Amino acid sequence: MALLLGIDVGTSATKTLLCTAKGRVLATASAEYPVYAPEPGWSEQDPNDWWRAVIQGIGAVCKKAGKNPTQITGVGLSGQMHGSVFVDRAGQSLRRALLWNDQRTVAECAEIERLAGGRSKLIGMVNNVALTGFTAPKILWVRTHDPRAYEQTFKVLLPKDYIRLRLTGEYASEVSDAAGTLLLDVKGRKWHRGLLGKLRINPDLLPAVHESTVVTGEVNRAAARATGLAVGTPVVGGAGDQPAGAIGNGIVQAGIVSATMGTSGVVFAHSDKPVPNKAGNLQSFCHAVPGKWCVFGCMLAAGGSFQWLRNTWCADEVAALRKAKKDPGVVYTSLIKLAEKAPPGCEGLFFLPYLTGERCPYPDPDARGAWIGLTVRHDRASLVRAVLEGITFGMRDQIEIMRAGGLDIREVRAGGGGAASPWWRQLQADIYDATVTTINTQEGAAYGVALLAGVGTGVFKTVPEACEAGIRITDQRKPTAKLRKRYDSAYAQYRRLYPSLAGEFKRIAEVTA
């Protein structure tokens, strides 16, 4: 029987999943590593940490499932999008990778727009605007500020594609992740040589791009010794974490969107054709379904805001659990139970979840987080609930942009941390004014690329067939009429807060620069 392995190189951890040819999950594992912030607004990781986590994860899932790694018949790769790994001719990382939530490239984004001939012309080339999180401005930043590393660079890789290199020795990517570099012709599904020329980026720095189900290489001897996988095991293109998570949630047809809360928060919709993006407030990319496209928004600190709350308020408890080698995730459950004690709307208390700047709906690296509306009546429960409501309002921002663009949203499939709690799923249904469902697996991106590996190795004929084989709805939450109206009013107030404070955020950023 075929065994499929999915690997998702996330921001806080690499998640590994093993499933059968019928899509049944046998085991999962997670291995954490640090994020470095050497300057305010910077976010970096050591790519070697990802590789160590991959090795650890493969061993852990095989041990849990009672399987030998040599039994695995296909590998799919996913990872945090937009990151940049600069490697030399030997495939060695030259510096820490700059991550998706790194905000240092404001000047480079402006330069990209200027060189492209303006924002509208840039959108016409690559269907997206220049955002600080994207890969292209990071390449320009390293070229200017770390010229020694740039001169030694042989290839610039996305995070999952660095793992592909370690597994197979091949330099390759695929269209869904490549679209997030700002260097891909999204409609044509190939690198945009015209823009590369304007930016003076050598096309040879970029790997070949494929569709997500294409086998891009095979496990080599060095990787086999490190991981236990059999030499020659096929590795498919895979997908960026958002398209991969959409596959794992069955978002392969119109009318259903996913709302996934990891560190970031993403609302994702499938499309059978390229999605116009004239305003540039969403990301319009290639989907991991061959020949299809997608549109999604991304708020930068969804689960990240909740993680910040846990790590600052409950630092001693988290440290004690880690010292005892217990899961610090149980602290989230305690915080949600505390939030349930506060009234809906928190008596006028709001939380702005802009802890690392923002991308959607406000592409503003200077945006800041805040509790607003505090009175002596508010307690810890109110503060926690306001954070969870603020995160969910931020997710609704994306849904409203899609609705305004004419997308029919009948169902929202919850994923990530926001799907784990029945209470939070109901909160989402009330705030989104939509039916919120969950499915039989919450493994998201790792599961999605395992299914892609099944397609690439012939287990399934198509991606929709793979999703039909393994995915079913397990829970459904409908909006409550009374709470929906209350949250509509609260959301309207929430929407007024950022425009009122945007100028102050910029001044604060200038003071702290």
Residue 228 sits in a domain whose CATH number is 3.30.420.40
Question: Do 220 and 320 reside in the same domain of the chain?
Answer: no
CA distance linking residue 128 with residue 447, whole number of Å: 28
Per-residue pLDDT tens over the stretch 417-426 = 888 899 999 9
Q: Once rounded to an integer, what is the mean pLDDT over residues 444-451?
A: 95
- Give me the mean pLDDT over the 78-93 stretch: 97
Note the pLDDT of residue 418.
87
The pLDDT of residue 273 is 87
**pLDDT for 404:** 87
For residue 444, what pLDDT band results from cuts at 50, 70 and 90? confident
pLDDT tens column, 14-33:
999 999 999 999 999 999 99
Q: Decide if 253 is inside a domain.
A: no
Question: Per-residue b/e over 147-172, b at no fewer than 16 CB within 10 Å?
Answer: eeebeebbbbbbbbbbbbbbbbeebb
**Residue 228 confidence (pLDDT):** 98
Q: Is 236 within a domain? A: yes
Rounded mean pLDDT, 288-298: 93
Catalytic amino acids? 241
My answer on whether 219 and 311 are in the same domain is no
Number of domains in the chain: 2
**Tokens standing for residue 110:** 């402006």
The arithmetic mean of pLDDT across residues 218-223, rounded, is: 98
Tens-place pLDDT, residues 348-385: 999 999 999 998 999 898 999 999 999 999 999 999 99
- Determine the Cα–Cα distance for residues 206 and 190; give it in Å rounded to an integer: 11
Same domain, 349 and 490: yes
The per-residue DSSP string of 239-267 comes to EEHHHHHHHHTT--STTEEEEEESSSEEE
Query: Tell me, what DSSP letter sits at residue 276?
Result: P
pLDDT higher than threshold 90 for residue 1: no
The answer to whether the CB of 168 falls within 8 A of the CB of 218 is: yes
Residues 47 and 192 reside in one and the same domain: yes
Residues 184 and 323 in one domain: no
Do 267 and 297 form a contact (C-beta atoms < 8 A)? yes
Token pair listed for 275: 């999605």
| Least trusted range by pLDDT, from 232-236, 281-285, 444-448, 503-507 | 281-285
- What's the rounded mean pLDDT across residues 286-306? 94
The pLDDT-based confidence of 42 (bands split at 50, 70, 90) is very high
Q: What is the H or E stretch that residue 32 is in?
A: strand 25-32
- The span from the CA of 134 to the CA of 43, in Å, is 13
Structural domain ending residue among the three candidates 208, 240, 272: 240
Cα 305-308-312 angle, rounded to 5 deg:
145
Nearest to 445 by CA among 236, 210, 262, 217: 262
Distances (CA, A) of 464 to 241, 303, 304: 18, 29, 31
Most confidently modeled range among 228-237, 291-300, 398-407: 228-237
Distance CA 94, CA 91 (A): 9
- Percent of the chain scoring above 70 in pLDDT: 100
The stretch 154-171 carries a mean pLDDT of 98
The C-alpha atoms of residue 504 and residue 498 are separated, in whole angstroms, by: 10
**H/E element, 304:** helix 303-313
- Distance from C-alpha of 478 to C-alpha of 178, rounded to nearest angstrom: 36
- Same domain (yes/no): 152, 11: yes
In a domain, 335, yes or no: yes
| 399 CB burial (10 A radius; 0-12, 13-18, 19+) | buried
Is there a single domain that holds both residue 152 and residue 33?
Answer: yes
**Rounded to an integer, what distance in angstroms lies between the CA atom of residue 268 and that of residue 468?**
19
Q: What is the mean pLDDT of residues 45-56?
A: 98
Please answer whether residues 359 and 321 qualify as being in contact, where contact means their C-beta atoms are separated by less than 8 angstroms. no
pLDDT (mean) for 434-449: 91
Rg of the chain on CA atoms, in Å: 22
DSSP state of 96: P
| Total residue length of the chain | 513
In this predicted structure, what is the pLDDT of residue 283?
87
Look at residue 432 in the predicted model and tell me its pLDDT: 96
pLDDT band (50, 70, 90) for residue 415: confident
Which one-letter amino acid corresponds to residue 144? Answer: T
Beta bridge partners of 4: 19, 74
pLDDT average, residue stretch 289-314: 94
Q: Is residue 490 part of a domain?
A: yes
Averaged pLDDT, 454-468: 96
Are residues 153 and 23 located together in one domain of the fold? yes
Please tell me whether residues 182 and 313 are part of one structural domain: no
Verify that 306 and 235 share a domain, yes or no. no
pLDDT confidence of residue 513: 67
**Structure-token pair, residue 163:** 């793992």
Q: What tokens appear for 129 in the block? A: 């605007």
Q: Which residues contact 178 (CB under 8 A, 6 or more apart)?
A: 158, 184, 191, 206, 209, 286
**Would you say residue 430 lies in a domain?**
no
d(CA 430, CA 385): 14
Q: Is residue 51 part of a domain?
A: yes
Q: Which domain holds residue 341?
A: 299-422+482-507
* Domain final residue pick, 240, 258, 283: 240
Whether 206 shows a pLDDT value over 80: the answer reads: yes
Q: Is residue 372 part of a domain?
A: yes
- How large is the average pLDDT for residues 131-155? 97
Mean pLDDT of 476-488: 95
Window from 178-182, 260-264, 429-433, 485-489 with minimum mean pLDDT:
260-264
Same domain, 92 and 231: yes
Q: Could you tell me which residues come within 8 angstroms of residue 63 by beta carbon, excluding any fewer than 6 positions away?
A: none
Q: Name the β-bridge partners of 96.
A: none
> Cα 319 vs. chain centroid, distance in angstroms?
26
Average pLDDT of the chain is 95
Are 235 and 337 contained in the same domain? Answer: no
For residue 230, being part of any structural domain is answered with: yes
Residue percentage of the chain with pLDDT more than 90: 87
Q: Which of 240, 261, 279 corresponds to the end of one domain?
A: 240
> CA-to-CA distance for 276 and 480, rounded, in angstroms?
34
